[in-house]
Homo-oligomer: A and B are copies of this chain.
Amino acid sequence: MIAVSIEPGSTPPLVDRIGDGLSRVATAMRSEAWTAAEAIGLNPTQLQILTFLVARGRSGMRVKQIAAYLGVSQPTTTDSVNALLRKGLVEKQADPSDARALSVAATPQGETAVRQAGQLASATEDAIAALSKLEQQDLLTHLVKIIRRLQTAGAIPEQRMCVNCRYFRPNVYDDAKAPHHCAFVDAAFGPAELRVDCGEFEGADAAERDAAWRVFNRGAV
């Protein structure tokens, strides 16, 4: 919980005000998610699951992974997955490597639904787009740093971000606009191209990851 200072006249700590600001933006995103989801006959949780599954492709995800991604319990996830199943937007397959496990994947209809929802107008997108390119780039960088911390603290699962990826080579070029290198696509890229959820992600081991992070973060931990 983000603490809120309740003493009149005193300024709350900077960290709390940032948390408060994030909450306000999250509120807008949440109510926007309702309209977007309703446009395709879903609710926000179902759309979030479906979007997640579409982004992961046809290999499918396990129920537990979906639950971790959403930050809810496993039975809750089962509920919502079943709702999507009834609507024909996802399908369950047996996991060949583990007979206990399921592989939940989006159907073609599910992909279509996500495309439709993604094309709706979004006040949040507009608000972010109103920032300058440099501001957007800085904001993304700060978010990546926060997300990485949340991940190491165990508050969220491992993210498919560049800074966790074995193909990531931070700060190998002098060009400030594209100092990094992605060994998967074998191309230079910059802070504005950093990925938060990359389809080609492959996790690096802990030592590689820490080393890359130090280089990326210019030596700071």
Chain multiplicity (copies)? 2
Tell me, rounded to whole Å, the shortest Cβ–Cβ distance linking A205 to chain B.
22
Residue A125 CB within 8 A of the other chain = yes
Number of A residues, CB within 8 Å of B = 87
Residue A15 CB within 8 A of the other chain = yes
Tell me, rounded to whole Å, the shortest Cβ–Cβ distance linking A46 to chain B.
12
Interface residues of A in 9-47 (CB under 8 A from B): 9, 11, 14-33, 36-37, 47
Interface residues of A in 150-201 (CB under 8 A from B): 150, 153-156, 159, 185, 192-197, 199-200
Residue A124 CB within 8 A of the other chain = yes
Which residues does A use to contact B, with CB under 8 Å?
Answer: 1-4, 6, 8-9, 11, 14-33, 36-37, 47, 51, 54-55, 57, 69-72, 111, 114-115, 117-120, 122-133, 135-140, 142-147, 149-150, 153-156, 159, 185, 192-197, 199-200, 220
